[in-house]
Amino acid sequence: MLQRRIFKYIKSDLATKMVLLAGPRQCGKTTIAKSLVKEYNGRFYNWDDIEDRKLIMNSVLDFSKDLWAFDELHKYRSWRNWLKGKFDKHVPERKILVTGSAKLDVYSRGGDSLQGRYFLHHLHPLTYAELSGTKLKEDLDTLMLMQKDIKDSEALDTLLKLGGFPEPFLSGSERQAKRWRNSYTDRLVREDVRDLENVIQLDKMELLYHHLPLTVGSPLSINSLREDLEVSFDAVKHWLEIFENIYACFRVSPLGGKQILKNIRAVKKEQKLYFWDWALVDKEAARFENLIAMHLLRFCHFIEDIYGIRTELRYFRDTRGHEVDFIILKEAKPWMAVEVKLSEQSLDPNLKYLLERVTIPYAFQVYLKGDSYYQVDDINGAKVSIIPARRFLSNLV
């Protein structure tokens, strides 16, 4: 069985604090939790199981166990206050792990803060680096040298085709992956939304979900979506927020700030949308861009969860139409620029334009089809590489 890369970090953090593990449903959270339960002589409680729910609500827990793992506890209205009491009374004598398929900071239900009592980890779908088994470089600047080169084209092709969720990926079958995806979508919209939100027009919300893959890679227009669905602007806005909160999709905001973009008139509000399950996207170019976006988001979450370094994923677009697919901010400063291409080609003029005007230490033009890796002349202090996706993704997490 493949051990997920964050497993050892969760184990380490459980020694001192409670761990909250968040991520989309069926990406491996329960597998991690049950592995830890087995290792630590623990007990697994699932809020969706009616018997476990009664035990939780009545605080009838197994005190003979060294670890308590609670799954989907955020569906309990008083979960934060309940957890705070358990942490203050029983940690460090017992370890506590909480897993959830929704953003745990959003569904706090107005309860007492758990600040200072937990470490948050994000679990993502499988990444190319995880599948390739590459050893993680601890120094981030060394990592940017892109020294590892794992030429496993089959793994990348399968990831692109089937997605990174364990079940469809490990099936190795497009037919099985499509069947899984249909069931996953139904449960996501019908069950997760129902459990967490009061939504009346579920049918329209489901139509929105099926329409959104067509928008990947382009600026997102809520007005256009509103017109297509014949609903209000506020309804679409709210539904998009729900989809983000349950880890169905995520939005990337444009790079901004006068301190960063001097003498550039950048767009300020137009966001781009991507899916946690990139295999929902039909067009190859958009799907590949989504795969890169998901790997970069994973990279940002890992840096923040493990190293405590603030990171953000953005993109660049100005009013004259210059656009670069992704910018990673580290401690509010541009750190890495990434332009995505299907095939090998010379440096994109838009990437060159941005690098000439904004100080960014590292820049990569990542392409899917081809094997050549080379560096071009530095631009305004930036180290610039044309790099195959396999090599680029091998050096992430």
- pLDDT tens-place string over residues 161-185: 999 999 999 999 999 999 999 999 9
For residues 88 and 45, what is the distance between their CA atoms, to the nearest angstrom? 19
Helix ranges restricted to H, the chain: 7-14, 29-39, 50-57, 79-90, 128-132, 140-143, 153-162, 166-171, 174-186, 193-196, 202-211, 222-229, 233-245, 284-302, 349-357, 389-394
Look at residue 112 in the predicted model and tell me its pLDDT. Answer: 52
Of the candidates 158, 160, 159, 133, the one whose C-alpha atom is nearest the C-alpha of residue 148 is 133
Q: Which CATH class name applies to 7-122?
A: alpha beta
Q: Which amino acid is at 249?
A: C
C-alpha distance across the termini of the chain, in Å: 18
CA 29 – CA 27 distance, rounded (Å): 6
Can you give the pLDDT at residue 135?
Answer: 76
Q: What is the pLDDT of residues 5-62, one digit of tens each?
A: 999 999 999 999 999 999 999 999 999 999 999 999 999 999 999 999 999 999 999 9
Q: Residue 110 pLDDT > 70, yes or no?
A: no
E strands in 277-396? 311-317, 323-330, 333-343, 362-369, 374-379, 382-388
Give Dmax (Cα) for the chain: 65
290 pLDDT higher than 60: yes
pLDDT in tens, 142-163: 888 787 777 667 899 999 999 9
| Residue bearing tokens 């603030």 | 310
Residues of the chain with CATH 3.40.50.300: 7-122
Is 220's pLDDT higher than 90?
yes
Least confident among 103-117, 138-152, 195-209, 378-392: 103-117
β-bridge mates for residue 376, sequence order? 384
For the chain, what percent of residues have pLDDT higher than 90? Answer: 79
What is the average per-residue pLDDT within 317-321?
Answer: 91
Average pLDDT, the chain: 92
Question: Over 70: is that where the pLDDT of 106 sits?
Answer: no
pLDDT the model gives residue 209: 95
